[in-house]
Amino acid sequence: MLDQKLIRENPTSVEESLSLRGKVFNISQIQELTVQKKEIDIEITSLQSESKKLSKLIGQEISKSKNNDSPEVNNLKKRGNEYRTKISEFEEKKRTLDKKIHNEICNLPNLPSKDAPIGKDEINNVQVKTWGDPLVTENLRSHWEIGESLNLFDSVKSTKISKSRFITLIGNGARLERSLINFMLDMHTKNGYLELMPPALVNSESLTGSGQLPKFSNESFKCSNDDLWLSPTAEVPLTAFHRNEIIDPKQLPLKYVAYSPCFRREAGSYGRDTKGLIRLHQFNKVELYWFCDPSKSIEAHQKITSDAESILKKLNLPYRLVDICTGDLGFSSSRTFDLEVWLPSSKCYREISSCSNCLDFQARRSSIRTKIDKKNTYLHTLNGSGLAIGRTMAAILENGQQTDGSVKIPDALVPYYGSNFLKTA
């Protein structure tokens, strides 16, 4: 959520910054509402000050006359009641304005970082670096062809269980998924992250706090009888874990890692990646999340990205790092680095992790603060996949495929999987 003071005092600057996302934003109405609220705040403060002075006068008059029912005292009390009535009326107006302002600002995305590349869409994203040697050979099989031949998963039978875009992992496929989850969690906890296993169902306040609601309600699955949604990413419950808290600065940074199933409608993406493990309604993911001092979030962004990269390096999966342009940034992000893994069957890189610095955007929506110079200050939050499990499995299947039909398991994963090669069960 953007700062009301910033919108009130610098509306043109806010509009110009938001326009870098490739869309025109007119915040004049919101700005006017914030001005009205400021005027009401001033009026309430003035009335409260006068009311306090009056209460003091009443006390002095009673002490002087030794009569709390004299005409002078009654007259002062009447004036005091008038002040309280006016204060109550202004406070009600303020509550109405607060709600309206909150609802309006909740629809505004985060301001892009001045360091993010300026551009309209993914075409303008900037490749920062590559790592590893991409496998470039003709007639390579796709991961879904490998999965079918090794009986690792079944999407056809899954439609009987639920609907399309769900998958059932079978035998060694389920074993490989479980191995990847444990491997990633172990790697990250050894690197200083505290493991959490949050609920898969989250309430509307949690989704709003992370920036998923109200804008992306059509992307999530909602339980009809409860104020509960299937979590689209562990970023949501991890943000909410410290909602409405003031965190001791000595505890910072707080670094969490969480495995969770994720659920997304993928609205608007029909016809894309309908085969395999790339774009499913349900998938598993290991999420990294930081709460940090605002002065250190740029450094933290580099570190959380490096931690996600370390998984790809350990698994020896070629990838590239991309700096996301302003027009392609996620709603809550100020700056994002994408990690894209090489998929040789399609001869291209595909996103496997987005590492984002959200500054105080989510902390402001969720009221998560710390003390800096004895003043309550909103924290900065960062998140990144470490990694998406299904896409990691797809990359392992394609990059590790052998001429005999088997798949070589990355050396770092062998202790978890229990074998050097994945073969037909």
- Per-residue pLDDT tens digits for 391-404: 999 999 999 999 99
Instruction: Enumerate the domain spans of the chain.
Output: 4-105, 122-422
pLDDT at 218 over 60: yes
Answer for the pair 165, 279: CB distance below 8 angstroms, yes or no: yes
**What tens digit of pLDDT does each residue of 94-106 get?**
999 999 999 999 9
- How large a percentage of the chain has pLDDT more than 70? 97
pLDDT of residue 80: 82
Q: Which CATH class is domain 122-422?
A: alpha beta
Coil, strand or helix at 3: coil
Give the range among 201-215, 263-277, 332-346 with minimum mean pLDDT: 263-277
**What tens digit of pLDDT does each residue of 296-337 get?**
999 999 999 999 999 999 999 999 999 999 999 999 999 999
Distance CA 311, CA 185 (A): 10
Distance CA 382, CA 291 (A): 7
Name the pLDDT band for 198 (thresholds 50, 70, 90): very high
pLDDT at 225 over 80: yes
pLDDT of residue 162: 94
User: Is the alpha carbon torsion for 159, 161, 166, 167 positive or negative?
Assistant: negative
pLDDT at 171 over 90: yes
pLDDT at 269 over 60: no
pLDDT of residue 143: 97
> Two tokens at 256?
């969490």
Say which residues have a Cβ less than 8 Å from residue 393's Cβ, sequence separation at least 6. 143, 173, 176, 177, 180, 277
What does pTM read for this prediction?
A: 0.93
pLDDT at 272 over 70: no
Name the pLDDT band for 86 (thresholds 50, 70, 90): very high
Phi, psi of 161 (to 5 degrees): -80, -40
pLDDT at 270 over 70: no
Q: What is the mean pLDDT of residues 82-102?
A: 94
What single letter denotes the amino acid at residue 58?
I
Distance CA 385, CA 377 (A): 27
CB-based burial, 335-348: b 16+ in 10 Å, e otherwise:
bbbbbbbbbbbeee
Q: Which helix (H) or strand (E) holds 186?
A: helix 172-190
pLDDT at 408 over 60: yes
**Domain 4-105 belongs in CATH node 1.10.287.40:** yes
Coil, strand or helix at 407: strand
pLDDT at 425 over 80: no
